[in-house]
């Protein structure tokens, strides 16, 4: 578990523990377990040393023992012996020195230890690069006393190092809290507060800047800034990992554990009843709970990604509803608007949870709004990798294709970073076990409400299930390919009158449906039960639960050791005898007719024709920051191929708002050379070319106002000339420009005529296939009228505004808008006097259209807050990162034009 969370609870608000590692301190041939945290405050960093319990979850689990300022008096060097360095998988030994006191540490083998040392050495090297900078460390002085949350006061800074000194005698360590089994919880994670998500983001941003490790054997003033070497990480490490994975059956055995999965759409309600009938419905307490909620909060405030009081209320209700015959630790909570997932584990199993990551993806309008989408947690339990997904897919009976699209978006966009940041991110499907829960919103179709209720009254769920959209889509392999779902022997879970077991009696009279589902994918999984819980009446949905018995891989230490030694022996022999080489399926790739936001991919196959396994990576060319142009991606960009094996690399081209402007006007072309490098081998050069079909998406307002013909018919030289003139006022042209771009007019006019009374307009995404048709219509002028649904046209309009190289309110006027945001007359003056004519026309045209929409708000369910939040972020953009205060000011500015 991420034990920095426990350390963070002992610190003041202005202090941040960016990363923590559990290690052993070596003293007189014995070891004691300690927890080290890298803590920062006021641009100064220090190592905090804690004694700890087996698993540090909260401040109660740790006691501060010492604080070591990272100053010129500090140093850290590796002291692993040459024999230890030669063998992959051994622990790393380092010596930390502070003011002539020394202690020797043993850090467990793994990427997390490497990351920790990298961060410590980065902090140390920063100090050494600025030796004249005065470091005061005043903030550390308070830890001479026992602050709140820290049990026991440390002695003066660095004093406790003496007892672990390699060169001075000191008292024997006492108060031993117990050591952790090697490599068991090094990377485990826990949090029980919103603050943890802030810590994660801070930690991640610091990880991205880590330096490579360079070994130093002494610590003179000249080499203090050098970074530790970790030679065991690289090709040799990956060779062993690959061989160990292939031999996994030799050194692992299966042990069964029970997993409780629950999903509940709570319709924005607060907990009104105990959740025990749902969460404690099993005879024996489950080993692991994963509990998902949807529509946690339906308020407008929650829709816009702000905190919600419903989170702690429902979390408390879950905690109180867990099985009473066991003790559980809260490992992780993650929420995206109203979609929340909570992960509990029996306390005795917590130390075996590691490599935990959590991610979210919104599939609402423009793929950003989080009212629909998914949250997911991945973790390693013993030696099995598990991913749990909680999703809320698109609503309405007829929108099954959008639900399919949501599922595919979640699978492709939701990725987990690995603790070893040199490795590509993990997708959902790259896990041994995938458990998927949520309000999937698939309905019962081709059967009227009376027919559905008649089958329910007969408990003929098998016949009713044949009309279920999810079953049909799975049978057609449109979604959830490879997943399983248990037999449904309970009545539909939606829609009920709140507070009762009566079907929906509202005017809409919804057809009952199994919206709430549990599916799984993987081996050694047995479902024990799959049921709904009619006793709970808080919502218009009923909660669903499923209990699984899952065979988890555990390691036989003796068999693992023997396998590991055999692999190392064989790799030594191979490395000494052979040089890696590969054969490429082809070296030239040409992509035809690339379009805005339309993915294209071609496969490069690598065949390892050498005598040894090989490691490949696409590397940067001289004077370039990345290995490829921003419109190109190689997936994966690095990897490992066993002897005689092959690897498929997808070369993917995707033009978005960031790359379209330069491609539209010809400043950039679809041309790149990739350099594929083999570790200990040669480099291969791969050519990527293509032609881009210019689009109104990513073209400036100025240029579009001067185009009377479809953009696809215009020569690129003319577009380049117009792009160069964009932003200039009163430029001499042969004919009067259009007041607004014709493409913008077509979309707004279509919506004005067809969508003013469309429910959830600008809140519900369209279909990607329909967006492609709309884009092609705008770019070619064929057909004369726009295709697609109202929702697809609305999203196409938002994407058009988002892709403008210069927003409707130009960057140069942005600051004035912020400064006058509270004054309506000044806001009006900025628009009427400072915006170029074509930009002013577009702004006023859009504002007038949105005011018309608001006149039908009772039908379309729009209000000023929704429109302001969506459109202010598109019309008023900063050319640098926008903070929360600025976002609120842009919304305040735009609100004046809608009321």
Among 134-148, 269-283, 508-522, 849-863, the range scoring the smallest mean pLDDT is 134-148
Q: How high is the pLDDT of residue 727?
A: 57
More confident residue, 744 or 145: 744
Domain ranges of the chain: 3-139, 254-554, 582-692
The segment with the largest mean pLDDT, out of 46-50, 639-643, 773-777, is 773-777
807-821 confidence digits (pLDDT tens): 999 999 999 999 999
What mean pLDDT comes out for the span 67-90? 68
Q: Do residues 518 and 390 touch, judged by C-beta distance below 8 A?
A: no
94-130 confidence digits (pLDDT tens): 889 888 778 888 887 656 777 888 889 888 888 887 8
Q: How high is the pLDDT of residue 885?
A: 87
Q: How high is the pLDDT of residue 163?
A: 44
Mapping DSSP to helix (H, G, I), strand (E, B) and coil, where does residue 320 land?
helix
Q: How high is the pLDDT of residue 121?
A: 85
- Give the pLDDT band of residue 728 (cuts 50, 70, 90): low
Q: Which long-range contacts (CB under 8 A, 24 or more apart) does 487-491 make?
A: 487/530, 488/461, 488/514, 488/530, 489/461, 489/530, 489/531, 490/461, 490/530, 490/531, 490/532, 490/544, 491/456, 491/459, 491/461, 491/532
What mean pLDDT comes out for the span 66-93? 69
* Alpha-carbon distances of 681 from 222, 585, 608, 648, rounded to whole Å: 34, 18, 12, 19
Alpha-carbon gap, residue 317 to 281, rounded angstroms? 15
Q: Do residues 128 and 135 touch, judged by C-beta distance below 8 A?
A: no
DSSP β-bridge partners for residue 608: 582
Q: How high is the pLDDT of residue 243?
A: 83
636 preceded by cis ω (within 30°)? yes
Q: Do residues 548 and 263 touch, judged by C-beta distance below 8 A?
A: no
- Give the pLDDT band of residue 535 (cuts 50, 70, 90): very high
Top-tier CATH class for 582-692: mainly beta
Task: Please name the residue ranges forming H helices in 659-767.
Answer: 660-664, 701-705, 716-725, 742-754
Task: Flag whether pLDDT at 231 surpasses 70.
Answer: no
More confident residue, 487 or 150: 487
Task: Flag whether pLDDT at 189 surpasses 50.
Answer: no
More confident residue, 340 or 222: 340
What mean pLDDT comes out for the span 782-811? 94
Q: Do residues 270 and 310 touch, judged by C-beta distance below 8 A?
A: yes
Query: Which among 621, 588, 516, 597 is positioned nearest to 799, based on CA atoms?
Result: 597
What mean pLDDT comes out for the span 761-768? 90
Task: Flag whether pLDDT at 897 surpasses 80.
Answer: yes
- Give the pLDDT band of residue 2 (cuts 50, 70, 90): low
Percent of the chain whose predicted confidence (pLDDT) is above 90? 60
Task: Flag whether pLDDT at 479 surpasses 80.
Answer: yes
- Give the pLDDT band of residue 57 (cuts 50, 70, 90): low
Alpha-carbon gap, residue 319 to 335, rounded angstroms? 16
DSSP string, 426-445: EETTSSSEEEEEEE----B-
Task: Flag whether pLDDT at 1 surpasses 80.
Answer: no
Domain 3-139 and domain 582-692 have a common topology: no
Query: Which among 567, 557, 574 is positioned nearest to 610, based on CA atoms?
Result: 574
Top-tier CATH class for 254-554: alpha beta
What mean pLDDT comes out for the span 329-353? 93
Q: Is 139 exposed, middle or buried (0-12, 13-18, 19+ CB in 10 A)?
A: middle
Q: How high is the pLDDT of residue 177?
A: 31
Query: Which among 43, 547, 40, 503 is positioned nearest to 261, based on CA atoms?
Result: 547
Alpha-carbon gap, residue 601 to 603, rounded angstroms? 7
**Token pair listed for 848:** 């007038």
Q: Is 316 exposed, middle or buried (0-12, 13-18, 19+ CB in 10 A)?
A: exposed
Task: Flag whether pLDDT at 693 surpasses 90.
Answer: yes
Average pLDDT across the chain, whole number: 84
The pTM is what?
0.70
What mean pLDDT comes out for the span 291-296? 96
Q: Do residues 393 and 440 touch, judged by C-beta distance below 8 A?
A: yes
Q: How high is the pLDDT of residue 508?
A: 86
What mean pLDDT comes out for the span 280-290? 97
**Token pair listed for 375:** 């949250």
CATH code, 3-139 = 2.30.29.110
What mean pLDDT comes out for the span 431-440? 98
Query: Which among 670, 702, 707 is positioned nearest to 687, based on CA atoms?
Result: 670
- Give the pLDDT band of residue 208 (cuts 50, 70, 90): very low
Query: Which among 207, 202, 37 is positioned nearest to 119, based on CA atoms?
Result: 207
More confident residue, 574 or 118: 118
Q: Do residues 178 and 53 touch, judged by C-beta distance below 8 A?
A: yes
- Give the pLDDT band of residue 301 (cuts 50, 70, 90): low
Query: Which among 595, 630, 657 is positioned nearest to 800, based on CA atoms?
Result: 657
504-529 confidence digits (pLDDT tens): 999 889 999 999 999 999 999 999 99
Q: How high is the pLDDT of residue 423?
A: 74
- Give the pLDDT band of residue 174 (cuts 50, 70, 90): very low
Task: Flag whether pLDDT at 232 surpasses 70.
Answer: no
CA angle 711, 717, 723 (to 5 degrees): 70
Task: Flag whether pLDDT at 360 surpasses 60.
Answer: yes
- Give the pLDDT band of residue 537 (cuts 50, 70, 90): very high
Task: Flag whether pLDDT at 462 surpasses 70.
Answer: yes
Task: Flag whether pLDDT at 771 surpasses 70.
Answer: yes
Task: Flag whether pLDDT at 563 surpasses 80.
Answer: yes
Task: Flag whether pLDDT at 392 surpasses 90.
Answer: yes
Q: Is 831 exposed, middle or buried (0-12, 13-18, 19+ CB in 10 A)?
A: buried
Q: How high is the pLDDT of residue 150?
A: 39
Task: Flag whether pLDDT at 723 surpasses 50.
Answer: yes
- Give the pLDDT band of residue 209 (cuts 50, 70, 90): very low
CB atoms inside a 10 Å sphere around CB 471: 16
Query: Which among 142, 162, 163, 164 is positioned nearest to 153, based on CA atoms?
Result: 142
Task: Flag whether pLDDT at 622 surpasses 50.
Answer: yes
What mean pLDDT comes out for the span 471-494? 97
């Amino acid at each position: 578990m991420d034990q920095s969370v426990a350390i963070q609870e002992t610190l003041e608000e202005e202090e941040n523990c960016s990363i923590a590692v559990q290690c052993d301190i070596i003293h007189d041939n014995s070891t004691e377990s300690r927890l080290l945290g890298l803590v920062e405050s006021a641009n100064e960093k220090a190592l905090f040393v804690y004694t700890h319990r087996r698993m540090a979850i909260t401040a109660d689990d740790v006691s501060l023992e010492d604080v070591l300022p990272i100053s010129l008096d500090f140093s850290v060097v590796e002291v692993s012996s040459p024999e230890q360095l030669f063998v992959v998988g051994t622990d790393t030994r380092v010596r930390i020195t502070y003011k002539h006191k020394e202690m020797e540490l043993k850090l467990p083998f793994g990427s997390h230890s490497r990351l920790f040392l990298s961060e410590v050495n980065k902090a140390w090297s920063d100090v050494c690069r600025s030796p004249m900078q005065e470091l005061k460390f005043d903030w550390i002085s308070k830890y001479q006393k026992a602050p709140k949350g820290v049990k026991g006061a440390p002695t003066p800074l660095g004093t406790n190092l003496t007892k672990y000194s390699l060169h001075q005698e000191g008292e024997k360590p006492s108060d031993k809290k117990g050591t952790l089994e090697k490599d068991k919880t090094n990377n485990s994670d826990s949090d029980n507060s919103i603050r943890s998500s802030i810590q994660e983001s801070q930690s991640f941003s610091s990880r991205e800047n880590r330096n490579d490790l360079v070994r130093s054997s002494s610590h003179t003033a000249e080499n203090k800034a050098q970074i530790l070497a970790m030679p065991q990480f690289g090709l040799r490490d990956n060779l062993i990992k690959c061989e160990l994975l292939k031999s996994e059956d030799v050194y692992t055995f299966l042990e069964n554990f029970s997993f409780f999965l629950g999903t509940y759409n709570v319709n924005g309600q607060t907990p009104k009843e105990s959740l025990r009938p749902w969460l404690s419905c099993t005879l024996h307490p489950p080993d692991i709970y994963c509990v998902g909620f949807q529509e946690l909060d339906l308020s407008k405030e929650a829709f816009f990604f702000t905190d919600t009081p419903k989170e702690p209320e429902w979390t408390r209700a879950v905690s109180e509803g867990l099985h009473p015959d066991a003790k559980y630790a809260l490992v992780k909570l993650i929420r995206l608007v109203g979609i929340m997932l909570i992960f509990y584990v029996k306390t005795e199993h917590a130390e075996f949870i590691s490599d935990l990551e959590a991610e979210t993806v919104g599939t609402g309008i423009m793929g950003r709004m989080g009212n629909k989408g998914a949250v997911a947690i991945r973790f390693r339990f013993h030696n099995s990798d598990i991913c749990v997904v909680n999703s809320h897919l698109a609503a309405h009976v007829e929108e099954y294709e959008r639900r399919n699209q949501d599922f595919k978006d979640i699978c492709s966009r939701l990725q987990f970073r690995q603790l070893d940041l040199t490795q590509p991110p993990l997708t959902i499907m790259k896990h041994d076990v995938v458990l998927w829960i949520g309000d999937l919103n698939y309905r019962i179709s081709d059967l009227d409400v009376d027919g559905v209720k008649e089958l329910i009254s007969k408990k003929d769920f098998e016949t009713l299930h044949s009309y279920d959209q999810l079953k049909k889509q799975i049978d057609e392999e449109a979604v959830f390919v490879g997943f399983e779902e248990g037999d449904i022997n309970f009545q539909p879970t939606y829609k009920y009158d709140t507070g009762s077991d009566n079907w929906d009696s509202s005017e809409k009279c919804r057809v009952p449906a199994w919206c709430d589902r549990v599916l799984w994918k993987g081996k050694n999984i047995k479902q024990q039960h799959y049921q709904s819980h009619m006793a709970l009446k808080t919502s218009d949905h009923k909660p669903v639960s499923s209990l699984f018995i899952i065979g988890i891989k555990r390691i036989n230490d003796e068999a693992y050791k023997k396998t590991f030694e055999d692999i190392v022996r064989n790799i030594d022999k191979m490395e000494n005898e052979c040089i890696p080489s590969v054969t490429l399926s082809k070296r030239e790739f040409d992509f035809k007719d690339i379009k805005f936001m339309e993915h294209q991919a071609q496969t490069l196959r690598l065949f390892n024709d050498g005598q040894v396994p090989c490691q490949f990576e696409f590397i940067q060319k001289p004077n370039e920051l990345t290995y490829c142009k921003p419109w190109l991606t190689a997936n994966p960009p690095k990897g490992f191929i066993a002897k005689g094996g092959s690897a498929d690399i997808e070369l993917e081209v995707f033009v978005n708002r960031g790359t379209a402007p330069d491609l539209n006007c010809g400043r950039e072309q679809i041309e790149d050379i990739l350099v594929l490098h083999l570790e200990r081998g040669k480099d291969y050069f791969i050519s990527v070319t293509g032609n881009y079909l210019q689009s109104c998406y990513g073209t400036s307002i100025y240029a579009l106002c001067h185009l009377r013909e479809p953009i696809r018919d215009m020569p690129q030289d003319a577009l380049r000339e117009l792009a160069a003139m964009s932003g200039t006022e009163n430029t001499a042209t042969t004919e009067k420009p259009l007041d607004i771009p014709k493409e913008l007019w077509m979309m707004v006019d279509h919506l004005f005529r067809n969508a003013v009374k469309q429910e959830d307009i600008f809140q519900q995404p369209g279909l990607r296939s329909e967006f492609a048709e709309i884009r092609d219509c705008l770019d070619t002028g064929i057909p004369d009228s726009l295709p697609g649904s109202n929702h697809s046209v609305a999203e196409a309009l938002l994407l058009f505004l988002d892709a403008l190289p210069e927003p409707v309110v130009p960057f140069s006027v942005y600051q004035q808008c912020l400064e006058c945001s509270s004054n309506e007359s000044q806001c009006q003056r900025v628009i009427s006097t400072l915006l170029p004519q074509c930009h002013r026309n577009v702004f006023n045209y859009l504002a007038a259209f949105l005011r018309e929409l608001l006149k039908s708000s009772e039908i379309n369910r729009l209000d000023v807050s929704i429109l302001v939040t969506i459109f202010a972020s598109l019309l008023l953009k900063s050319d640098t990162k926008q903070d929360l205060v600025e976002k609120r000011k842009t919304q305040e500015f735009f609100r004046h034009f809608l009321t």
